[in-house]
Amino acid sequence: MISKRQEGIKDKTERELYFTPKQAAAYLNLSLSTIKNYIYAGKLKTLTTPGGHHRINKAELLAAMGDISLTSDIDSFLIERLCTAVFNGAGHAVRPLLSHSKAVSEMSYQLSIAMGFKEEEALCIKMAGLAHDIGQIGVDRQILLRMGVLTPGEYEQIKEHPLTGERMLNSIKESKVIASIVGQHHEKIDGSGYPMGLNGNKIQMGARIISITEAYDAMVSAHSYKNPVSKDMAIAELMQNRGSQFDGDALEVFIKILR
């Protein structure tokens, strides 16, 4: 038998415009995990149905996304919209960068949490993971899709994308940390990376995390210019570069997550 409270909730959801979390994500062109993070952090009010499901009022949704006091949340929102717009507008050939970036973003978040980062720090790394390749929009797409060895000049163009991405993100208020992580994600522990040749602890941990998750997803995902490898082969490749390209402690935790 339905209680009066349950009947009231049913009537309310039928009278007003409500979204499921998935519908809210689609409405704002955001990931479902972003909406869930707002809910779990208590920054997005929801109505719970008799079946225990979240329903989000459209007015509440827009108010939460538009509250200028939630600076870090707005930055996350803007960064996600920026990445989506850039990659979707880059043409069919480059569009897979968005799915790659979303995978890197989610894995980077999971690795950050597993390493003991606070939620706010982990979300910052997650956003940096989403935006890590945004600077590639400035690289000739024929170079991005090139099979085989790049010329020295082409490789120099590729090496510009971390700083290009950092400059793009610096245009968003209060996103300096995210921008800095993006600028460092191709640095290597032994100092042989780019664009600045940083080494060891001079590289932010967020960038070291993304370096691992980005490399892993690039290996296991199918691309127009290469076939994917198995999870075990990708792990073996990561381990071969432990301590030279990748942070050993972060890599150890990441492999535990994968297994």
Tell me the pLDDT tens digit for each residue of 43-63.
788 888 888 888 888 777 776
Adjacent-strand bridge partners of 47: 55
- Domain range summary for the chain, segments of one domain joined by +: 4-66, 71-258
Locus of tokens 């570069």: 241
Per-residue pLDDT band at 70 (split at 50, 70, 90):
very low
Q: Name the CATH superfamily for 71-258.
A: Hypothetical protein af1432 (1.10.3210.10)
Separation between Cα atoms, residue 138 and residue 164, nearest integer Å: 7
Q: What are the helix (H) ranges across the chain?
A: 4-15, 21-28, 32-40, 58-66, 71-88, 96-114, 119-131, 141-144, 152-159, 161-169, 176-184, 205-220, 231-240, 248-258
Residue 194 has pLDDT above 80, yes or no: yes
Which band of pLDDT confidence, cut at 50, 70 and 90, is reported for residue 95? low
Task: Fill in the amino acid letter for 145.
Answer: L
For domain 4-66, give the fold.
Answer: Multidrug-efflux Transporter Regulator; Chain: A; Domain 2 (1.10.1660)
From residue 134, how far is each of 106, 145, 247, 258 by CA, in Å?
16, 16, 23, 26
Interval 238-251 mean pLDDT? 98
Copy the structure tokens of residue 1.
């038998």
Give the tens place of pLDDT for each residue, 219-231.
999 876 678 999 9
Task: Answer whether 4-66 and 71-258 agree in fold.
Answer: no
pTM, full prediction: 0.70
- Model confidence at 217: pLDDT above 50: yes
